Amino acid sequence: MPPRLLRTSGIVAGDPRQLSENQIHTIERDAFLELNALERLKLSNNRLGQLPDGIFVRLRHLQR
């Protein structure tokens, strides 16, 4: 998933991202780089094998 796709999606504080069931197979390491207000992210039912190290490091508000 290209980082620019997420950057242009208008995320505001507390806005959950629903990316489930999109057949995503890769996410670039800096895809979430500018989304530090993101609190929730759903990636279930995709084709992800492995995520890059440190992909969520700057997402300080991300909840489990």
2-53 pLDDT per residue, tens:
555 554 444 444 556 788 888 889 998 988 888 888 889 999 999 999 999 9
Between CA 4 and CA 27 the distance in angstroms is 12
**pLDDT attached to residue 1:** 53
Q: Which residue has the tokens 């057949």?
A: 23
Neighbouring residues of 46: CB distance < 8 A, sequence distance ≥ 6: 19, 20, 21, 22, 23, 24, 25
The pLDDT of residue 11 is: 47
Provide the CA 13 distance to its chain's centre, in angstroms.
Answer: 14
pTM of the model: 0.66
For the chain, first and last CA: distance in Å?
A: 22
Whole-angstrom distance, CA of residue 15 vs CA of residue 52? 23
pLDDT, residue 17, reads 78
Give me the pLDDT at residue 8, please. Answer: 45
